[in-house]
A and B are shown apart, each in its own frame.
Chain A
Amino acid sequence: KAGVTQTPRYLIKTRGQQVTLSCSPISGHRSVSWYQQTPGQGLQFLFEYFSETQRNKGNFPGRFSGRQFSNSRSEMNVSTLELGDSALYLCASSTRAATNEKLFFGSGTQLSVL
């Protein structure tokens, strides 16, 4: 069974641009969550989708948005990029959006904003 796939692996953008990251969950998984990882702040929860609906959202500005498609694939969009958005963006999938579910992570997209 293929794991969680994130594309692209690396991305370089300039301030003010927008970016879209993609996440394909493990087959059969309906929950996808996104995280931002930076050296200073560590790993922070962005949002979670289940069956195409956003279940909950972390404390990030509205420039960060996401969506989930009927095949459970998810995209995350960041508009008007800022230097501070440079980070590793990880997505994770699970079978259900439940508290004790094991999360399966992808290898992330490393975003650099110049």
Chain B
Amino acid sequence: AQTVTQSQPEMSVQEAETVTLSCTYDTSESDYYLFWYKQPPSRQMILVIRQEAYKQQNATENRFSVNFQKAAKSFSLKISDSQLGDAAMYFCAYRRDDKIIFGKGTRLHILP
């Protein structure tokens, strides 16, 4: 069965610094999608970035980028120039066909 593991329940980073959130997953499939979602205190989950497994190039969205290592089944999120508004829970998710699995999340604190 597929699993998604986020090994860091909480992390802190100084404002303007860079932070990397870890995510590993387990699957026997070769074609799937990976996502990072952000959940601020408002509770509304927001898509941060999306990666197709068949693409070798790492996805980038402004200050957010991923390091996708397919063989290692690793999908980490790097946030550059951290801002106070980045403080939130971050969830890594795996999706293939009708199945979507989320990690348990990493709470990110931004220190002013």
Contact = CB atoms under 8 A, between A and B. Distances in A.
B100 A105 contact: no
Most buried by A among B37, B47, B100, B102: B100
Interface residues of B, number: 23
B102 A44 contact: yes
Nearest to B91: A43
Given A43-B91, A100-B33, A48 B45 contact: no
The binding surface of chain B is classed by DSSP as strand
Given A55-B98, A90-B45, A105-B45, A100 B104 contact: no
Contacts, number: 51
Interface of B: 32-33, 37, 42-47, 50, 52, 91, 95-105
A92 B43 CA distance: 12
Interface string A8-23: 0000000000000000
